[in-house]
Amino acid sequence: MKGILLSGGTGSRLRPITHTGPKQLIPIANKPVLQYVVEDFKEAGITEIGVVLGNKGREAVQKFLGDGSRFGVDITYIVQGNPLGIAHAVGCARDFVDGDDFVVYLGDNLLKQTISPLVESFEEGDYAGGIALQQVPNPERFGVAELDDSGNVERIVEKPDDPESDVVLIGVYVFSPRAFEAIEAIEPSWRGELEITDVFQWLIDDGQRIDSHTVRGWWKDTGKPEDIVEANHLVLEALDATVDGTVADGAETMGRIDLHETATIESGAVVRGPVSIDAGTVIESDAYIGPYTSIGPDSTIRNTHIENSVLVGESTITSNGKIIDSLIGRGAELRSAEDALPEGRRLVVGENSNLRL
């Protein structure tokens, strides 16, 4: 079985962060979302992976993933170009799939549970497709699956006004090569895109069986700033503490802290985990780093209270006050204005920004 990792899309809901880089490389607990997906493929025994690229950010994705060898996989790059829908992106990978069964994984999705049960269930039956599902309180925002008593998918409806079910598709799909017949047969939706839900419905109407697997644990579509912050919280919840860096005498640390061997917590700083601090970062005196915060590489934090936030890296934060529930892009510089009062702030700051708060 092969894997298709979709890494196109414009990331419009994550602007200004995605003005300067692909959304799939935004770090969660100091590891890009794409890396979690690649590792999930490998854990499921899928090591041949086709990465579908759009027009934007393709060089950055290729630079990060390379040929896949450092992750123990073999990566082939496939260029989709303009984003014309998930099904169109899958269709671009037909030559790569070359008659095999395959898993499609959206590159901005993050799961607590591995995809292995979905893959194993598909392989054990005679199916043309399989979908990962999860119960949600707002199914009208998603593709909704209607199942029979055996868990086979009877119908899929995209964003229905009055859903018949509360189980929705979450961005991981399994297909036999018959999917390409469906992609050729379906028409673009009102959005002008080839919809993956229409592929499944075509297969169902053609008499094919579609398997389903309900994912346990959390799932996040990291498409918006608040989703990034929440996903970071969820991943840090299960953080393994590895304090390899320098913690000076007089620094106060507690809880689970992942401190890179070249990172430093100086005397007078307070760090309360779970927290992830990457290479070359210095937490200086009078800084407070609160729970569920990830600070990327080569950053300096001074005289600032930061909590439940993601700092991508290479930033200098010296503002006098609180930063909470925030996403700070790479290379940002945040300082206090001369007349600033200390107060809590919730921010989304793009790459290489310079703010006085």
Whether residue 10 has pLDDT greater than 60: no
Residue range 118-125: mean pLDDT, rounded:
91
Which CATH number do you get for residue 220? 3.90.550.10
Domain boundary among 231, 249, 273: 231
**Shared domain check, 262 and 225:** no
**Shared domain check, 127 and 19:** yes
**Shared domain check, 272 and 157:** no
Residue with more model confidence, 43 or 240: 43
**Shared domain check, 278 and 226:** no
Whether residue 278 has pLDDT greater than 70: yes
**Shared domain check, 23 and 125:** yes
Residues 352, 338: Cα–Cα separation, whole Å: 22
Tell me what pLDDT residue 341 has: 46
Which CATH number do you get for residue 269? 2.160.10.10
Domain boundary among 231, 255, 280: 231
Residue with more model confidence, 57 or 193: 193
Tell me what pLDDT residue 12 has: 43
Whether residue 17 has pLDDT greater than 50: no
Question: How far out from the chain centre does Cα 129 lie?
Answer: 23
**Shared domain check, 267 and 219:** no
DSSP 16: T
Domains in the chain, number = 2
Range of the domain at 15: 2-231
CB 131, CB 199: distance < 8 Å:
no
**Shared domain check, 143 and 79:** yes
Residues 250, 273: Cα–Cα separation, whole Å: 17
Tell me what pLDDT residue 146 has: 84
Average pLDDT over the chain, rounded to whole? 86
Tell me what pLDDT residue 349 has: 58
CB 35, CB 26: distance < 8 Å:
no
Residue range 203-207: mean pLDDT, rounded:
93
**Shared domain check, 295 and 174:** no
**Shared domain check, 313 and 219:** no
Whether residue 19 has pLDDT greater than 60: no
Residue range 229-249: mean pLDDT, rounded:
91
**Shared domain check, 196 and 337:** no
pLDDT single digits (tens) 76-117: 999 987 778 899 999 999 999 999 999 999 988 888 888 999
3-state helix, strand, coil in the chain (%, to 5): 25, 35, 45
Residues 340, 309: Cα–Cα separation, whole Å: 21
